[in-house]
Every structure is written in structure tokens, then in C-alpha cells.
Amino acid sequence: MKTRRIDNYGKINRDKILSFSWDKKNYKGFEGDTLASALLANNIGIVGRSFKYHRPRGIFSSGVEESGALVTIGSKDRRDPNVRATTQELYNGLEASGQNAFPNVNFDLAGINNYLGRFFAAGFYYKTFMGIPPLEWGKGTAIWMFFEKFIRKAAGMGSASGLPDPDTYEHAHDFCDLIVVGSGPAGVAAAIEAAEKKLDVILVEQDSLIGGNQLAENDFDNSQIKNQLENLGIKIMTRTTAFGLYDNCVVGLLERVTDHISAPNVNIPRQRFWTIRAKHIIVGAGAIERHIAFNNNDIPGVMTVNASKHYLNRYGVLTGKRIVIATNNDSVYETANQLSEAGANVTVLDSRTNFEIETNKSFEIRKGYVPYNINGSKKIHSLDISKSETINKSETIDCDQVLLSGGWSPAVHLLSHRGVKPKWDYNNACFLPSDTKENITMVGSSRGLWNKNDCIASGIAGTTDALNRLGISKTNYFFPKPGGWKNPIQPLYEVKYKKSRSKSFVDYQHDVTTDDVRLAHREGFISVEHLKRYTTLGMANDQGKMGNIIGLSLMAELLNKEIPEVGTTVFRPPYTPVSIGALSGRNVGKHFRPLRVTPMHQWNIDHGAKMIEVGLYQRPWYYPKENETLSDSYIREASTVRKTVGICDITSLGKIAIQGPDSTEFLNRIYSNSFSKLQVGKARYGIMLRDDGIVMDDGTSWRLAENEYFMTTSTGEAAKVMSWLEELLQNRWTDLNVNVTSVSEQWAGVSVAGPKSREVLNNCVDDSLVVTNNNLPFMGVTSTFLKGNIPCRIARISFSGELAFEVYVKSDFANTMMDLIWENAKKYDGCLYGLEALGALRVEKGHVTAAELDGRVTIDDAGLSKMASTKKSYIGSAMRKRGVLKNNDREILVGFFPTNLKETFNAGTIVCEKNNIKGQGIGRITSVTYSPELGHWIGLGFVKGGLDKWKDTNLVGADPVRNKQMNLKVVSPHMIDPKGERMYA
Amino acid sequence: MIRINCPYCGERDHSEFSYGGDATINYPSLDASEKEWTEAIFFRKNIKGFQFETWHHSNGCRMWLVVERSTVTHEIKSVKPCHPDLQKVVENNK
Ligand SMILES: [Zn+2]
């Protein structure tokens, strides 16, 4: 097939030939090509099949508004679907293929949908929920279920690889005084003016080259501009799209770093997601040419006029030989001149009758003519035209290309992201940006300026506006008036043509036709937001950049209103699609969230620990010996603690230093129980409530000195408690003289638990007298030294119910402490134990943790009423007895046994009365474990009315998720050693 | 993205901060009635426009701040420390 490339045109590098493949066939292009220009040069007209009807689709544009040429780039794990061929730069070895077609885009079996159009009309998806009219056949979910698999299959434009993404992405940040979006004449003028006024400027361009739409001009050379910008110290970011504007002049950008390179360096990210914080934003994002709706306006060979100019002057591709241009405005005539000079036979249909325009007279202008039907299916054979929009006296022109210009829509998208509604301009038949109080200024054709000098003037005015708003200058300025063509535009959105099965497209990408819009209106969708969702107009990944205005004009006509009364849909970020990879950046895999490890993390692993995540923390889960499973291991560990001694890393607990003369008063206010009489050298378990009377957290506070405490919190609530204490001191009790400091990272902690724990510690401390029962009674605290002169804090605190100690050293001594204690524990056949055994021990004792204290539980629900002082007021004391919190049927903490002791159950099991197994039941099981001590499974949980009400009744545990059910017995939560004799030993 | 000008650290992204709540509540004394506490905790004005709210510079200096922010535009008029003594210190250092 003959190439469409012509000599002496374009800015491509003809010395550098690139080979690429399209649907597995090899072709050649040049450096500087896009995939679209290379396909056009190789005379490939059909590049895809449409979304619903599988009609052949060609290339409609030369930019981001493309709604036809969506292709898949790459293969295997690098397969990237829905890439716009018009913005994909060509590189050597690029593999591209068509989408939404089987077996290929030239011959697609699903093309039959074209003849089933009635079933795929507006709201098809929704109608499948309601049944097929007129009998509403299949009403209900059945028909949806029936259609769903077809719809899902048919609806995918290209498919993702389904494999892990092999590329890397990164997040980057920058700051500047002024960010200029768009490097057309307006943006460049603004940037230069600002840099000359000493502002720190970043200029962003989505294209690979700066210049904006000037790149479509045959005599444009950007090298001088580039030098000037660089010499002024302006940071130029090409291949970078400002996809969203956010509060306080924050701009989100996507930089495509390697998408244009055939074998990128693996150490370079594929894309970079930039967050740039500016003081002012100037948007010169240009304008987008619209098409015109008429029958068969989607046949390959239809294109915007400006796109054809781009292909000619930038890429040296003459897109047609016999070209008809249909327009309603002046912007096409320069292109018409150039296309005919390049050798095409050009005819211009201008819907206007009364206008004068200068041309090189090498082509015919048919004043007052409009196109109404294209003949052809896979390519254009001829165009039916008519004088005036009411079709009479028709005529047919042979042609191979139809170029459309229905006017221009300023790219107001970024401003729309800030909630600024554009206003309709009747003179220019387009939406123009409204003013905003934020530091954002629109310049160039984004504010409806159609000629270059006006654009340049607006750029300079934009920077003056920025300088004024930033308080740097106070200079008068004015923006040129919108417009700039010699003759006014005459609105032309649709040419109606009544013929069966005629399809006149508003939104090419989602296959939305003018009939769909009318049908939606007939069915009662009169709000533009509803229309959009019902027809899916403008909801494809081009977001209706070309077609939205046409859809609005149709609605306006149907509603007998003007376009501004119908409204416009709100544009939301992103302006063009952003890959999930770029959004996640490096936060994938193990970097998905921060990892916290304790200072003895490696020590634990070296000693055989299997780890588990608790919040962000890695904690030892269990320490299996040889072939032990998790259950083997934790049962052995828990039994060893009860028999001899075990040691466990508890560093992840929150630790807060509380210092100052009012420390005791402070603790007395935040804990529900009294701390006023706690002696120096003693610790106390405490419960904190929230303002509303619900339990916030529990922990211990150790009185180290008259005005100094060491507080521990649960692992999960550590950060919250710290913020809470700071809030109280800074915002509420500003008269209290207390200082709180997080020391969680500073101290490494270990629990030494079991009947032999005192003997073990005796061998570890410098002075063996400090841990005797007399010197360190239950809840006693001492600051002393471990062997080797290591300062430590020891408290006799028990979570397991055994004689137990918590030992803390500075984090740097963690490994030394572990070595020392473990060496001595081994002498008593002790063990290392992890979270699973810790859980078993505490469930046996009925001690609550986050599983029970889930933010819904009161101190009474948790069975800890005796921890609520009646002699003082504290946070939550006024509220803990309010309304529903004092109901008799609240769920109260209890223990559970399976009635048949051989049975097991799971946390999450719903507790029900025997003959009433439904809904949320009367309670729930929150924690379960096998109890080595009791020899069967036990659970903790809640039941309405508590132990007293149910102790002699058989209840049922329903576990529908696991398809399990068992009989339950309610018991006291204190399932072993209820009097706590072991702790006091 | 909201940018908050912390009096201690300078202007930072809101992602460094945690939102607290209404900064205008006068918390009752701990021994006040359930009714007073209910009003303090649960009853809030739904302000359209500027409101005073607390923010915690949790990933920064850890100071609690009173931020005067528009609920419509996110515009921030003023940022002050919560603690009145610290407010004075900041004022004096201006
Ligand atoms: Zn700060």
C-alpha cells in the first residue's frame, strides 16, 4: 500500500527509521512520529472497534481528546490497554494492537451489534434490571444475571495484563512561585514575563515538544523559544500532564518518563507522579476542536480539521487525497490552503452563507452547505451534502476524507476541578472560564482567544494578574476580548437526517448517538447529570472532550432552552487518565505501609520466631520447634509459661513519660480509677474512657518518683492515647503543669512470666535482693541494673496470670537483655513465647484486649465496674451511665465453653438462643483459644445480660461464614485461677 | 490539598496534620452533669463558612493548633497554638 507520507513536510527525523508492529504486522515510521501518525502514514485507517456497536473506528484527532484510536501497547506483563495512539510516541520495537474486536479490527464478528442497536440504546444497562419492554420480560435480577456476562465481556475496551506490573513508579514533590500549564503562545509569554520579574517558574507541557498548537504550523520552530525559557531559568517539564488542581494551588502532575523509549534503563521509573505546590497557577491549556453530529460521522477517515493540519505539518502525512472540510467557523481556512498546497483536492462546506474570507483560491468553498451522511463503512466513499440544514436538493461528493470543525471548546477542565463553573459565550459558541478568587488565571485559547497575538497578550496579562495577587506589583492590565475570527461562528452541532438505522455520533468512544440523547429525554432524563449517566455520554476516558457540547446542545433543543440553562457537567480530575501505578508510586509490596520492628526483631527471628503483623508492628507470633505447627507451638509455649517460665517481646506497647508537679492530678483525671494514693515504686492498672463514657484504652502507669510516671498503653492505641494526652494538656487543662513525651522507641520491653520467673530474674539482676517478694511485691516497680551494669526498670505486672515481671532497658541494650534472660530461662526449661501463646494465656484469665475493647464497650460491659471510681470525677464519668449505656440488656463480658468439649469455635461466632437463631443474636465471641490448662477450646465474648442470666442455659454459636454451629455454655470470663493466687506468689 | 501554616514549623501539607474537632467548645468541668457533657460532646453547629477547629501537627511538632478555616473553600484565615500561653509566646515573637 502506498504511503501517505509526503516530502518536505513535517518535523520528523527522516534519518532515523523506527520499526513497529500493528496487529502483529511490521511497519516503519520515523523518529518524532506518534503511533497515530505512523499508522496514518502507512495507510492504516481502521484502528479499533467501537464500544457497543463494534463499528470500525479510525483516528479522529491528534491529541488527548482522541476518542477512536484507543489501542493496546506492549505485551505480556507490560500490556497497557486504552492508550491513545495520538499521544503515544513511536519508538523502535513498539508493539501495538487494536481493541474490542475479534478476530481483528478489520473483520470483527461482534460487528453484528451494529444491527442490534435497538437493544443497546441509552440506558441499556439499567433496563436490564427492569426487564425488556414491552412485557418487562425477565424483570428482576434474572435478566441482569443473564446479560451481565455478555455486557461485561462486551464492555471492556482492551484488557489489563492481570500480571504484576514490572515497572517502577515514583512520587516527587516541588515548589515554585508560578506554575504555567501549557506551552502555547500564551503559556510561554506568561512564563517569560514571570521569569523576567524574578518569579521561580515551572512550565508544564503534556506533549514531548513545547509549542502547543503552533506545532501544527508549517513554519514553526521551537528551538529559539526553548533557549529563551532555559536561559531565564524556567524549569520546563515536557511529557507531563497537569491532571488536577487542588486546594491552595497544589497541582497534581503525571510525568511519562520512559513511555517513549524502546528499552528504558531499568533504574529509571516509568512514570512520576508530581505534587507541586505553587503560589499561583496560570492555565494556558488551549482549546479542543469539536466535531459535528450527522449520519455515519464515525466512518474511518473522519477527523478534526486541526488534526489533519498537525499530521501534515508536524508529521508530513497527508491524511486524504479528496478532502471535504465541513465547518461553521473561520479556523479551517489556513488548513484548507495548506492541504491543497500539499496536493489534496479540497472542498470546504461552510454552514454560513454570509461571510468573506481570504484564501489561496486553490479550493472550492460551498457557502451554506452542510454534510448529512457519509457513504461507506470501513472507509469513506462519498459524502452527501445539502444546502441548509433541512435536507433537500442533496448532492453527493466523492471523497476519501471528511474533516470536521464544529467550533472550539476552551479547555476549562482544570479550573472546573476547583469548582468554578464556566459561563456560556453566545458569540463564540463555547464555555469560557469564569473568574475565581483563588490564585488561578486562565490565558490563551483556554479563555476563548483565537488569534496568536491575543494569546501572547493574555499570557503577559496573566502574569501581571499573578504578580498583583501575590502582592509583588500593582499594575493595571487587561485581557483581550474572547474571539478573534473575522467572521462570527454560526452554531452547528447536528445535521438531522431521518433514515432507519442511521447513527449520528455525539460521543464516539462510548457509542452515544443523537438518538440515544433523544431517547433519554423521552424517558424523562432532563437533568444533564442524569442524562450523562443514563447515556454514558462523556463518561469514557476522554471525558467527552469533543462531544459534550453537542450533547448539551441536543438537550437544550429538546428542552426548548438555551445551552447555559441546561448547564454543563462538572469536570473532575484527572484531565487525562493516570495509571494506578503512578498513584501508588513506591508504596507497593512491602513498602505499602511503614514497617515497625522492635529492637530485638532480628534476635527474635534468629531464635526461630515466626512473625505476625500487629498494626504496623512485626511481633513474634510463635517459636516453632522442628516440625511444630502453629497450634503445637503455642500450646507448648503457653503450657511452659504456666509450668516454668517464658519470655516474650512486649516492646510494641506504647510508652509515655509523664513528668511534672501535676502528674498525679493528670492521671487521676484521665483514668477511671484513682491514682492519688499510688506510692512511689508502685504501678497500677488503669482504664481510660473517652468523653462519651466508652472505654478508650487500658494500660499501666508506674510511679517512678514523686512527679514522674511511666505509662504503658496497648500497641494499637499508643498513637491515639499520646495525641489525646497532648490535646488535653494543650487545649483543655492548660493550667496543669505536666509534660508528656512518647518514649515508645526508647525502651525495649520483655515479659518474664511463670512460676520460675523470679528465679530467672534473680540471676539476671546485679543485686538479687531487688526482686524478692518483699522488695518487689505484686505491682511493685524498681529501677535497677541488669548484670553488665545495664540500667533497667522492672515492674511486677502479670498479663498471663502467673508470677510475672516486665523488664525494660534502653533500646540499645535490647539484644543484651534478651541474651541474658534467655540464657537463664533455659536453665529452668523455659521458652520463648509469641503473641499466640500470649493470647491463650490472657483468654484463660479473661483479660481484655482490642478484640474486646472495640470502641463500643463500657467499663461495666467489660466487667470492670470496680475500676470505676465513685470518689472522684474523671473523663467519661458523667457520660458512662447515660441512656442506653445503663440498659439491663447490654452485652456483658463472659467466657464461653463448647458444650461438647471436643468441639471448636471461631472468633466472630454469633451467640443465639437455642430456638431463635437469627440476626445478630444475643451476643458474640470475640477471642478464642485452645486452653492447655483446661484441655479444650475456650472463648471470650459478650452476651446480653451476662453470666448471671445464662449460666445454666445452653446457647448456640452460629458461624454462618464458616458454615458451623455448636452448642455453647456461658462461664465466668476468669476461666483459671479466678482469685489470682498465682500472681501474688 | 490544604496547606496549614504551623506557627512552629511553617507551611505544610495537611497530610502532616490530624483533624481534631470544634475548637470553640467550652468543656464542662469533670463533675458537671450528664446534660452539660452531652451538649459539649454531641451538639455541633454545621457551619457554612469560616469555623475554628483544632488540628494536631501529629507528623510535625506535635502541637495542637486552632485553625480558622472556611468549610466552603478551605481557605485558612489564621493558625494559632491552642494553649493560651503559647499563643502569647508566638504573638510576642512575631
Ligand atoms: Zn508544627
Mutate to test the interface with B, among A731, A877, A879, A880 (most CBs of B within 10 A): A731
C-alpha cell at A193: 514575563
For residue range A678-723, list pLDDT tens digits in order.
999 999 999 999 999 999 999 999 999 999 999 999 999 999 999 9
Q: From CA A402, how far away is CA A60, in angstroms rounded? A: 10
Judged by CB atoms closer than 8 Å, whether chains meet at A878 and B3 is answered as no
Q: Is the pLDDT of residue A145 over 70?
A: no
More confident residue, A278 or A569: A278
What percent of chain A shows pLDDT beyond 70?
A: 94
pLDDT at residue A156, rounded to an integer: 56
Residue in A with minimal Cα distance to B36 = A878
pLDDT at residue A179, rounded to an integer: 98
pLDDT band per the 50, 70, 90 thresholds, residue A129: low
> Which pTM value belongs to this model?
0.90
pLDDT at residue A490, rounded to an integer: 96
C-alpha cell at B2: 490544604
CA torsion A378-A382-A388-A389 (nearest 10°) is -20
Alpha-carbon distances, residue A619 vs A597, A650, A856, B68 (angstroms): 7, 8, 26, 42
Q: Is the pLDDT of residue A614 over 70?
A: yes
Question: Same domain for A671 and A626?
Answer: no
Distance, CA A738 to ligand 1 centroid (Å)? 20
Residue of A117, A167, A127 lying closest to A147 (CA atoms): A127
Q: From CA A204, how far away is CA A214, in angstroms rounded? A: 16
C-alpha cell at A272: 512520576
- Whether residue A858 lies inside any domain: the answer is no
- Whether residue A569 lies inside any domain: the answer is yes
For residue range A768-780, list pLDDT tens digits in order.
899 999 999 999 9
How does DSSP assign A370-438, residue by residue?
Answer: EEEEEE-SSS--EEEEEESSS--S-EEEE-SEEEEE--EEE--HHHHHTTPPPEEETTTTEEEPPP-SS
**Which residue among A669, A719, A882 sits closest to B30, beta carbon to beta carbon?**
A669
Q: From CA B53, how far away is CA B22, in angstroms rounded? A: 5
Q: From CA A856, how far away is CA A670, in angstroms rounded? A: 19
- What's the whole-number average pLDDT of chain A? 93
Distance, CA A402 to ligand 1 centroid (Å)? 61
C-alpha cell at A173: 514533590
- Whether residue A159 lies inside any domain: the answer is yes
Q: Is the pLDDT of residue A470 over 70?
A: yes
- Whether residue A106 lies inside any domain: the answer is yes
- Whether residue A848 lies inside any domain: the answer is no
- Whether residue A865 lies inside any domain: the answer is no
Q: From CA A112, how far away is CA A53, in angstroms rounded? A: 7
Choosing from A376, A406, A436, the residue where a domain stops is A406
Q: From CA B61, how far away is CA B7, in angstroms rounded? A: 10
pLDDT at residue A128, rounded to an integer: 59
Q: From CA A758, how far away is CA A827, in angstroms rounded? A: 13
How many CB pairs below 8 A link A and B? Answer: 75
- Residue ranges making up the domain that contains A504: 492-591
Residue of A832, A788, A835 lying closest to A810 (CA atoms): A788
Choosing from A780, A814, A840, the residue where a domain stops is A840
Judged by CB atoms closer than 8 Å, whether chains meet at B34 and A691 is answered as no
pLDDT band per the 50, 70, 90 thresholds, residue A150: low
Quick check: bond before A134 cis, omega within 30? Answer: yes
Q: Give the distance from residue A732's alpha carbon to the nearest chain B alpha carbon, in angstroms.
A: 7
Average pLDDT over residues A324-333: 97
Contacts of A585 in chain B (CB under 8 A): none
Question: Same domain for A454 and A527?
Answer: no
Residue A637 is part of a domain; what is its CATH number?
3.30.1360.120
Distance, CA B17 to ligand 1 centroid (Å)? 9
Judged by CB atoms closer than 8 Å, whether chains meet at A723 and B56 is answered as yes
Average pLDDT over residues A83-99: 96
pLDDT at residue A154, rounded to an integer: 54
Judged by CB atoms closer than 8 Å, whether chains meet at B64 and A727 is answered as yes
**Domain residue extents for chain B:** 3-23+43-92
- Whether residue A870 lies inside any domain: the answer is no
Contacts of A250 in chain B (CB under 8 A): 1, 3
Question: Same domain for A323 and A277?
Answer: no
For residue range A794-853, list pLDDT tens digits in order.
999 999 999 999 999 999 999 999 999 999 999 999 999 999 999 999 999 999 999 999
For residue range A479-489, list pLDDT tens digits in order.
999 999 999 99
Contacts of B20 in chain A (CB under 8 A): 727, 731
Question: Same domain for A110 and A11?
Answer: yes
**Which residue among B3, B18, B23 sits closest to A277, beta carbon to beta carbon?**
B3
**Which residue among B1, B20, B31 sits closest to A246, beta carbon to beta carbon?**
B1
pLDDT band per the 50, 70, 90 thresholds, residue A186: very high
Report DSSP state, residue A663. Answer: H
Residue in B with minimal Cα distance to A418 = B73
Question: Same domain for A272 and A262?
Answer: yes
Distance, CA A956 to ligand 1 centroid (Å)? 54
- Counting the structural domains of chain A, the total is 7
Q: Give the distance from residue A873's alpha carbon to the nearest chain B alpha carbon, in angstroms.
A: 5
Question: Same domain for A562 and A540?
Answer: yes
- Whether residue A471 lies inside any domain: the answer is yes
Q: Give the distance from residue A871's alpha carbon to the nearest chain B alpha carbon, in angstroms.
A: 11
pLDDT at residue A531, rounded to an integer: 84
Residue with cell 502514514: A41
Question: Same domain for A153 and A7?
Answer: yes
Question: Same domain for A751 and A835?
Answer: yes
Mutate to test the interface with A, among B56, B70, B80 (most CBs of A within 10 A): B56
More confident residue, A138 or A716: A716
pLDDT at residue A926, rounded to an integer: 97
For residue range A25-58, list pLDDT tens digits in order.
999 999 999 999 999 999 999 998 888 888 899 9
For residue range A293-319, list pLDDT tens digits in order.
999 999 999 999 999 999 999 999 999
A606-634 burial, b if ≥16 CB within 10 A, otherwise e? eebbbbeebbebbbbbbbbeeebeeeebb
Task: For strands A936-944 and A923-931, give the pairing.
Answer: antiparallel
pLDDT at residue A213, rounded to an integer: 97
For A895-931, the three-class secondary structure string (H helix, E strand, C coil) is EEEECCCCCCCCCCCEEEECCECCCCCCEEEEEEEEE
Distance, CA A309 to ligand 1 centroid (Å)? 54
Mutate to test the interface with B, among A174, A176, A248 (most CBs of B within 10 A): A248
Question: Same domain for A298 and A401?
Answer: yes
Please give the CATH architecture assigned to the domain spanning B3-23+43-92. 2-Layer Sandwich (3.30)
Q: Give the distance from residue A729's alpha carbon to the nearest chain B alpha carbon, in angstroms.
A: 8
Q: Is the pLDDT of residue A112 over 60?
A: yes
Question: Same domain for A394 and A337?
Answer: yes
Contacts of B82 in chain A (CB under 8 A): 727, 730-731, 734
Question: Same domain for A436 and A470?
Answer: yes
Judged by CB atoms closer than 8 Å, whether chains meet at A878 and B18 is answered as no
- Among A142-151, A502-511, A582-591, where is mean pLDDT lowest? A142-151
CA A434 to chain centroid, in Å, comes to 29
For residue range A647-667, list pLDDT tens digits in order.
999 999 999 999 999 999 999
Q: Which residues of A touch B (CB under 8 A)?
A: 246-248, 250, 275, 277, 437-438, 669, 691-692, 719, 723, 726-727, 729-732, 734, 873-875, 877-879, 881-882
Question: Same domain for A676 and A822?
Answer: no
Q: Is the pLDDT of residue A525 over 90?
A: no
**Which residue among B2, B31, B56 sits closest to A247, beta carbon to beta carbon?**
B2
Q: Which residues of B touch A (CB under 8 A)?
A: 1-3, 13, 18, 20, 23, 27-34, 36-38, 40-42, 54, 56, 58, 62-64, 73-74, 81-86
pLDDT at residue A223, rounded to an integer: 95
Judged by CB atoms closer than 8 Å, whether chains meet at A726 and B81 is answered as no
- Among A4-13, A144-153, A744-753, where is mean pLDDT lowest? A144-153
More confident residue, A93 or A564: A93
Ramachandran region of residue A621, left (φ > 0), alpha (ψ -120 to 50) or beta?
A: alpha
Contacts of B32 in chain A (CB under 8 A): 878
pLDDT at residue A130, rounded to an integer: 58
